[in-house]
Structure 1
């Protein structure tokens, strides 16, 4: 049964059947922004908890009367709410508009796509992770229990084992990730945990690109995480934050080294290309058979350079694939 609300002068309130009788309420849409106002009212009712998962919105006819909007405006508003993941439209007998669980899926999927398509630069990602995971480590230091510390130390043992002969780069990186994700669980913050998990699920290509594959480098990572875990075990939030930020600052160095190596390699390839062209042109200027001694045939009669691809571009030598180049993140 619907009744007037004392909260809004022209609201409609429906008694809910969930829990302790949660209510939700709507009012006539504002004339200058009717469509958006319908969206906002229903969205606010869901996000503020006045409507919960599984609740059914009133029938279309009653919503039209309540909001005083056309059927087209109402349906467009419901379509937008469905796209936002706030409601689902069910057809057939017993159908209608139902409130969905507010999920993080759309956010994490978007972030995951950005990472997988390399739309986030390595430096931006490293900068973001320092703030995010530093905060996570600080929260973990405040909340971690004895069994949590034991789990972190177990992951550190796995990491140390992977650093022994035979050295296993993949296993070291995997154990490193487990330490980070375990800290995210211990922090107890759903927003931090969700974003962190999404990053770690999609970060491996960055590791491949920038993290060197030598044992000495990853021993430094291991020592960093030992300091983080000890700070968490001591309950020192400030020290845990600092230790984690110092650990992630290593990636700044990895990125700078890899980028510098790329620039140097590109410069060397360009230099080789120009040297090759210059040498060939110089040879073309030398006297050949049929020319008087001391006389150069000159450029007009020099044989033109034959390009195998675009003649407007300097060809580059094939990469040598040397394993001494860091594959990096």
Structure 2
């Protein structure tokens, strides 16, 4: 019988990995929170029916993921940690590094989500938050005069969107948008999408961001959504042009 249609088998997980997953499930079932202590090593050996070495390796795996924190000395031991958004984005970035993402892939998501984030924030931001966004939008009043300055302007523009994501009441929406800002920053830098300088991208991007701050300050959700949708479409068109230019230059070389 030809086995070509047989689905590939998943690689078998090592015992420490399996125990690490069991510990996570154990924590969830007991609704433990950040700072709650885990049982001592002897109790965990008994609870999970494995050796001391396996428990220690499982705890190292969880500590590397940021899910537990281990302290030494009196009152020490293992306790529940909290994975930061920065750490979670870093782990996701490691995955997407191998997925060959394009500008179009990222903007498909940005066009769907960022207008809704903008609308949800209209009238909800403090004056300090609005002032921070205003400062980011106004940081570069003149177009770049070099590719290095263009890179700085690209990064500053994406920091504006990352800060918007930080202000989201919907933490999942904010996380995804913040992650997209991060990977687009990485993509721009790694692929040199800032070279040559693009005056139109600077001009239209700056204009949209300033208009957006005003709409947010004016509590105009519909206007904020409209501005962000336009911003995303224009930015995608111009960034895809940068990507195409880079590819032509690469082929020419």
Q: State the partner residue of 1:241.
A: 225
Q: Is the 8 A contact 2:123 2:219 kept in 1?
A: yes
Q: State the partner residue of 1:213.
A: 197
User: 1:191-246 CA deviation, whole Å, 9 max, x = no partner?
Assistant: 42552563465354168416752434421222222332232222233432332122
Q: Secondary structure at the match of 2:79?
A: strand
Q: State the partner residue of 1:70.
A: 50
TM-score (norm: length of structure 1) = 0.54
1:247 CA drift (Å): 0.8
Q: Is the 8 A contact 2:205 2:235 kept in 1?
A: no
Residue in structure 2 matching 1:229, options 213, 232, 236: 213
Which aligned pairs between 1:60-209 and structure 2 lie closer than 5 A? 60-67=41-48, 69-71=49-51, 75=55, 77-89=58-70, 96-113=77-94, 119-159=100-140, 161-163=141-143, 169=150, 172-173=153-154, 175-191=156-172, 192-193=174-175, 194-195=178-179, 198-199=182-183, 202-205=186-189, 208-209=192-193
Q: Is the 8 A contact 1:143 1:187 kept in 2?
A: no
Report which of the two structures shows the higher radius of gyration computed on alpha carbons.
1
Which aligned pairs between 1:253-272 and structure 2 lie closer than 5 A? 253-258=237-242, 260-261=244-245
Q: Aligned pair 1:50/2:31, yes or no?
A: yes
Which aligned pairs between 1:2-81 and structure 2 lie closer than 5 A? 39-40=20-21, 42-44=23-25, 46-47=27-28, 50-67=31-48, 69-71=49-51, 75=55, 77-81=58-62
- Which 5+ residue runs of structure 1 have no aligned equivalent? 1-33, 270-318, 320-329
Moved more, 108-117 or 183-192: 108-117
CA root-mean-square deviation: 4.2
User: In 2 relative to 1, CA 49–147 (structure 1 residues): closer, same or farther, beyond 3 Å?
Assistant: farther
Q: Secondary structure at the match of 2:193?
A: helix
Q: Is the 8 A contact 1:108 1:195 kept in 2?
A: yes
Count of residues paired in the alignment = 234
TM-score (norm: length of structure 2) = 0.66
Q: Is the 8 A contact 1:64 1:70 kept in 2?
A: yes
Higher helix share: 2
User: In 2 relative to 1, CA 140–206 (structure 1 residues): closer, same or farther, beyond 3 Å?
Assistant: farther
The higher relative CO (CA closer than 8 Å, separation ≥ 6) is in 2
Q: Separation in 2 of the partners of 1:109 and 1:95? A: 28
User: 1:71-124 CA deviation, whole Å, 9 max, x = no partner?
Assistant: 269626545434433224556776643322333344222344467788422221
Q: Secondary structure at the match of 1:235?
A: coil
User: In 2 relative to 1, CA 256–77 (structure 1 residues): closer, same or farther, beyond 3 Å?
Assistant: closer
Q: Is the 8 A contact 2:117 2:168 kept in 1?
A: yes
Q: Is the 8 A contact 2:151 2:189 kept in 1?
A: no
Q: Is the 8 A contact 1:156 1:226 kept in 2?
A: yes
Q: Secondary structure at the match of 1:143?
A: coil
Q: Secondary structure at the match of 1:98?
A: strand
User: 1:119-145 CA deviation, whole Å, 9 max, x = no partner?
Assistant: 422221222333343333223214213
User: In 2 relative to 1, CA 248–211 (structure 1 residues): closer, same or farther, beyond 3 Å?
Assistant: farther
Q: Secondary structure at the match of 1:56?
A: coil
